[in-house]
Amino acid sequence: MTLFRKPVSIKGALLLLLLPAGIGLMAIAWFVHGLLLERMSREFVESRLKDEVAFLEHHIRQADGQTDMLKTGDYFEKVFHHAFAIQSPAQTVISPQSWQPLLSPMLLSNDQNSIRVHGAEIPNAPSDILAYRKSFLANDIPFTVIVSEDMGALQNSQAELHAWTAIVSILLILLLVGIIWFGINLSMRPVVSLQAALKRLQSGEISRINVEAPEEFRPLVQQLNQLLDSLDQRLERSREALANLSHSVKTPIAAVRQVLEDTSRPLENDLRHEMGSRLSDIDRQLEAEMRRSRFAGPQVGKSAYPVQQARDLLWMLGRLYPEKSFELSTSLSGECHWPIEEQDLNEILGNLLDNAGKWSTSCVELSLTQGKSIASIVVTDDGPGVKAHEMSSLGQRGLRLDEQIPGHGLGLAIVSEIVERYGGNITFSCTSRGLSVAVEMPS
């Protein structure tokens, strides 16, 4: 049994995260407010008590220690709203008298500065007070002065303020919920637009997603459109392959069937040879179209390791052409990968190296390089090269410049087609050694 169920929507997930976080932060703020309020009020009261003790000490010193000359009366009680006690060897004055059970023990104590009393149960006296006690000499007479304040009334005011703070906090939480809900709905508008676009795409109203998405969703829209482009390209290739097969195979099959159905003619050697030639044409056409159907084109998430694939192909071609040398020139590491489908890279490298192996005299060199955004493949052979007027014909489908070299004239055409699908380019040039084929692909 899982403790937390996976959220079914982004809205639910955001509310599940933001709302408890907001409530928790508001509760912490309310708790800290109570602590700070208590501390500030205590410091404020202590400061007032110190000032009043200093005021009382000043008057006692001016009276040369004669407390009878100090007109105390109800001065502190009415003006400062504080209780006080003055003790000297001659007399003890406590005002108001109802505070005497609270202040008398403090006069006998040796504690200085602030004194806090909680939970006192004395009739007509407060249960919670804060007092400030100070001893001094005036005209060589020892005095002890205590000024105290009833903290109950202050705490009631603090509790009321704290309660109002809690009410305001709850209202702020409700406002925060509304703001979060509004913000979520406002932020989810692009998702709703994308959802509507996907429905229209599914119903056939549109062929591509054109949504003004925010920056976070643009890669998703681009990848979806690239996927649609890839699917359309595959469908187009399938249709093209079927059309090519239908056009190219129909005539040879009809000719062979006509020969086989004609029982009046014997199968002579020339006729057998002609039928075999027609069947070979059909086989070559099937092979070419099957190879084309395997081309993937640009695929999101697909990559190939050029150095490893090149080494495998060079080893295989070295066994196929043992009298020739195949060399690899590259500074790339074995872990380097290009955004090319593995089968497509095999077709490019395999056709270029096989073509160079057929035409070379003794050596074929493969060079792999990579720039900031370009992956480069260069295959050079030491063969006879190609005449200048024939250079523009290279890569055309079915073209063979020399019928004595075995092949179907499809290798360079296949390479050109794959490179075109990846948005790259292929160039042919003659060097002092032979033919050089350079392929550049986006990386």
- Give dist(CA 395, CA 348) in Å, integer: 12
Predicted confidence (pLDDT) at residue 355 exceeds the cutoff of 80:
yes
**Within-domain flag for 174:** no
| Contact between 426 and 437 (Cβ < 8 Å) | yes
What residues are paired with 442 via a beta bridge? 374
Where is pLDDT greater, at 247 or 439? 439
Examine the domain organization and report whether 329 and 235 are in the same domain: no
**Within-domain flag for 169:** no
Domain around 35: 13-156
**Within-domain flag for 407:** yes
Examine the domain organization and report whether 313 and 361 are in the same domain: yes
Examine the domain organization and report whether 319 and 422 are in the same domain: yes
Examine the domain organization and report whether 424 and 318 are in the same domain: yes
- Give dist(CA 377, CA 362) in Å, integer: 20
Residues 6+ apart with CB under 8 A from 416: 395, 426
> Residues 347-363: what's their mean pLDDT?
89
Predicted confidence (pLDDT) at residue 395 exceeds the cutoff of 80:
no
Q: Which of 27-41, 86-100, 150-164, 263-277 has the lowest mean pLDDT?
A: 263-277
> Which pLDDT score, from 0 to 100, does residue 328 have?
92
| Contact between 143 and 60 (Cβ < 8 Å) | yes
pLDDT band at 101 (very low <50, low <70, confident <90, very high): confident
Distance, CA of 139 to chain centre: 79
pLDDT band at 378 (very low <50, low <70, confident <90, very high): very high
What residues are paired with 130 via a beta bridge? 116, 149
- Give dist(CA 184, CA 73) in Å, integer: 67
pLDDT band at 376 (very low <50, low <70, confident <90, very high): very high
* C-alpha distance from residue 274 to each of 55, 92, 267, 280, 362 (Å): 131, 141, 10, 10, 37
- Give dist(CA 213, CA 431) in Å, integer: 51
Examine the domain organization and report whether 322 and 288 are in the same domain: no
Examine the domain organization and report whether 34 and 132 are in the same domain: yes
Examine the domain organization and report whether 258 and 322 are in the same domain: no
The tally of domains found in the chain comes to: 3
> Residues 258-279: what's their mean pLDDT?
68
Assign residue 37 the CATH number of its domain: 3.30.450
What three-state secondary structure class fits 422? Answer: coil
> Which pLDDT score, from 0 to 100, does residue 398 have?
46
CA angle 233/235/237 to nearest 5° reads 70
For 305, counting Cβ atoms within 10 Å of its Cβ (0-12 exposed, 13-18 middle, 19+ buried), the class is: middle
| Contact between 203 and 67 (Cβ < 8 Å) | no
- If we measure between CA atoms, which residue out of 121, 179, 148, 160 comes closest to residue 52? 148
Predicted confidence (pLDDT) per residue in 44-68, tens digit: 888 888 888 888 888 778 777 666 6
- Give dist(CA 305, CA 370) in Å, integer: 12
- Give dist(CA 42, CA 114) in Å, integer: 10
Domain finish residue from 111, 131, 156: 156
pLDDT band at 364 (very low <50, low <70, confident <90, very high): very high
Examine the domain organization and report whether 21 and 97 are in the same domain: yes
Tell me how many helices (H) and strands (E) the chain has.
Answer: 10, 10
Predicted confidence (pLDDT) at residue 435 exceeds the cutoff of 80:
yes
Predicted confidence (pLDDT) at residue 21 exceeds the cutoff of 70:
yes
Strand arrangement of the beta sheet that strand 374-381 belongs to: 325-330, 363-370, 374-381, 435-442, 425-430
| Contact between 93 and 85 (Cβ < 8 Å) | yes
- Give dist(CA 151, CA 149) in Å, integer: 6
Predicted confidence (pLDDT) at residue 377 exceeds the cutoff of 90:
yes
Examine the domain organization and report whether 328 and 421 are in the same domain: yes
Predicted confidence (pLDDT) at residue 288 exceeds the cutoff of 70:
no
Percent pLDDT > 70 in the chain is 74
pLDDT band at 400 (very low <50, low <70, confident <90, very high): very low
**Within-domain flag for 340:** yes
- Give dist(CA 36, CA 31) in Å, integer: 9
Counting other chains too, the contacts that 175-181 makes at CB distance below 8 Å and 24 or more residues apart are 176/19, 176/22, 176/26, 177/19, 177/22, 180/14, 180/15, 180/18, 180/19, 180/22, 181/15
Q: What value does the mean pLDDT of the chain take?
A: 77
Give me the amino acid identity at 263. T
- Give dist(CA 88, CA 64) in Å, integer: 13
Counting other chains too, the contacts that 243-248 makes at CB distance below 8 Å and 24 or more residues apart are 244/285, 244/289, 245/285, 245/286, 245/289, 248/281, 248/282, 248/285
Quote the DSSP letter at residue 100: H
Examine the domain organization and report whether 79 and 44 are in the same domain: yes
Assign residue 310 the CATH number of its domain: 3.30.565.10
**Within-domain flag for 1:** no
> Which pLDDT score, from 0 to 100, does residue 43 have?
84
Examine the domain organization and report whether 386 and 283 are in the same domain: no
What three-state secondary structure class fits 144? Answer: strand
> Residues 304-317: what's their mean pLDDT?
90
Q: Which of 79-88, 93-102, 131-140, 357-366 has the lowest mean pLDDT?
A: 79-88
> Which pLDDT score, from 0 to 100, does residue 329 have?
92
- Give dist(CA 438, CA 425) in Å, integer: 8
The whole-model pTM stands at 0.45
Predicted confidence (pLDDT) at residue 73 exceeds the cutoff of 60:
no
- Give dist(CA 168, CA 29) in Å, integer: 12
CA-CA-CA-CA dihedral for 226, 230, 235, 238, to nearest 10 = 170
Instruction: Count CA atoms within 13 Å of residue 121 on its CB side.
Output: 0
Examine the domain organization and report whether 327 and 379 are in the same domain: yes
**Within-domain flag for 120:** yes
The two three-digit tokens of residue 370, written as one number = 């990579």
> Which pLDDT score, from 0 to 100, does residue 23 have?
84
